[in-house]
Amino acid sequence: AFVCEEGLDCEERDVGENAGVHWCTQGCDSMNDCPDVEQPVLFVECQGSTPETQGICVIVCNEASVCPDGMQCFVEDGEPKGVCAFPG
């Protein structure tokens, strides 16, 4: 099984054409809570945060991006950008 390092949660996409892809993440209230990414053409977003709920950090990518080692850019059809994740 896929194991994340201590302090990180495994987030898995369970719908859509990319169901099963997964990545390690942490809770966030804003982008400042998310770790930086070294690669160019990538940025980290805190998705889904509301005043009541923590969001999760995702590495946002597009066709031109090179994701961190072992990860690929998964873009759902019709979306302008995707997320870096490990294949399902």
pTM of the complete model beyond 0.85: no
Token pair belonging to 83? 């997320």
Report how far apart, in Å, the C-alpha atoms of 63 and of each of 8, 19, 33, 88 are: 27, 19, 26, 19
Q: What is the pLDDT of residues 39-86, one digit of tens each?
A: 766 889 999 999 999 999 999 998 888 899 899 999 988 888 999 999
Angle at the Cα of 46 from the Cα atoms of 45 and 47, rounded to 5 degrees: 100
